[in-house]
C-alpha cells in the first residue's frame, strides 16, 4: 500500500498530481502496468492499495548482476514498450521511466509503476479517455518544468521546450542501454554537468 502524507502534498503543491496518479492507476488495465485495487484517505494520509509485485525491481537486479543477458533485456524492453504504447494511446506520459520503476513479477515479467510525475493529455477520464487515440500531435504537453530522474531526462525537457510522448521513448533508450551495458550512457558529478553531456550528445 502506498501512503502519501497529506501535509507534505500541500507543502509541495502536489495535491493535484497525487489525484492524477490515482486516476491513472484506477483506469489502467494492462498486464505490464501495476494494478490498483482501491484508494481511500485517512485524516493524515492518501492511501492506494496496489498489487504486490514480489520480485523486486530492475534497478536492484542491475546492481546485483550488472548487464542483463540479451534475452532477458529483450523481454523486459519489449514488455515496457507495450506498457508505454498502451499509456500513450490514452494520452498518458509517464515522465519518470527508469529501472527503479520496473517491477519484476514472480513469473519473470515486468510491470511499470510509480505514476507520481505522470501527466494526462486528456482533460477527463470519464468523458474523454475512452475516445481512443488523440489527434496527431494536437495535445502534446507544453509544461516547461524539469522533472524526473536526471540520468533519464530528455534533451527537450532540459532545454525547457516542453515535452510529449518522445520523452518516455528517450528514457526507454537509456534504460535499454543500461540493460545491455550495466550503466547509464551519461554521467556527471552534478545535474548541470550531466545535462551538458546529454545536450552535447
Closest by CA to 119, choosing from 170, 163, 159, is 163
Instruction: State the catalytic residues.
Output: 96
Please provide the DSSP assignment of 106-164 as one string. TTS-EEE---TT-EESSS-TTTTGGG-SPPTTTT--------S-GGG--HHHHTT----
Q: Are 149 and 102 in contact (CB under 8 A)?
A: no
The β-bridge partners of 102 are 112
Amino acid at each position: 500500500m502506498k501512503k502519501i502524507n497529506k501535509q507534505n502534498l500541500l507543502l509541495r503543491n502536489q495535491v493535484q498530481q497525487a489525484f492524477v496518479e490515482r486516476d491513472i492507476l484506477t483506469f489502467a488495465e494492462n498486464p505490464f502496468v501495476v494494478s490498483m485495487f482501491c484508494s481511500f484517505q485517512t485524516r493524515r494520509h492518501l492511501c492506494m492499495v496496489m498489487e504486490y509485485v514480489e520480485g523486486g525491481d530492475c534497478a536492484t537486479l542491475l546492481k546485483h548482476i550488472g548487464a542483463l543477458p540479451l534475452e532477458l533485456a529483450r523481454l523486459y524492453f519489449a514488455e515496457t514498450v507495450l506498457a508505454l504504447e498502451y499509456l500513450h494511446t490514452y494520452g498518458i506520459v509517464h515522465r519518470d521511466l527508469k529501472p527503479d520503476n520496473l517491477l519484476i513479477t514472480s513469473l519473470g515479467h515486468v510491470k511499470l509503476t510509480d505514476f507520481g510525475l505522470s501527466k494526462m493529455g486528456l482533460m477527463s477520464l470519464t468523458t474523454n479517455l475512452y475516445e481512443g487515440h488523440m489527434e496527431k500531435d494536437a495535445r502534446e504537453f507544453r509544461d516547461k518544468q524539469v522533472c524526473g530522474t536526471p540520468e533519464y531526462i530528455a534533451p527537450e525537457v532540459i532545454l525547457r521546450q516542453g515535452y510529449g510522448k518522445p520523452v518516455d521513448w528517450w528514457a526507454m533508450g537509456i534504460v535499454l542501454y543500461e540493460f545491455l551495458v550495466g550503466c547509464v550512457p551519461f554521467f556527471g558529478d552534478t545535474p548541470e554537468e550531466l545535462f551538458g553531456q546529454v545536450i552535447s550528445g
